Amino acid sequence: MQDITQKEKRIKIARFCGWETGEFVNGVPFGTPPNSSHCMDELRELPNYFGSLDACHETEKMLTSIQFEIYRWLLWDICKHSEVKEWNRAYLSATAPQRAEALYLVISNSKESAENS
């Protein structure tokens, strides 16, 4: 089985958030943001979910209640291997890479995602 790169995960999350993707500049993924006029002036670098808590928080807001519950458990599973063993503290202290990984797992396994890919 082929490992999915962080760049591919970033694209998947961005598509879930409404970005139209497909452009690359020097290997960096670019796309058109949601609710844009779709002109070339709107082409921007995709959010760096693996490096930005803000981008992760914006994506968390888009999850359905069921997706968020799954996300919460996945995030706990990812965080429980850190030094923080207490559930709330580990969850609240989750880093952008940990959150982005959990978001990717939820999004890539959701029924809605399968229908939109």
Angle between helix 6-16 and helix 96-108 axes, rounded to 10 deg = 70
Candidate from 13-17, 44-48, 49-53, 92-96 with smallest mean pLDDT: 92-96
Where are the chain's structural domains?
Answer: 6-110
pLDDT digits (tens, 9 = 90+) for 67-82: 999 998 899 888 876 6
pLDDT digits (tens, 9 = 90+) for 40-75: 567 899 999 999 999 999 999 999 999 999 998 899
d(CA 36, CA 58): 17
Quickly list H helices, 1-110: 6-16, 53-60, 65-79, 87-92, 96-108
pTM: 0.83
The predicted structure's pLDDT at residue 22:
79
Vertex 65: Cα angle to 13 and 69 (nearest 5)? 80
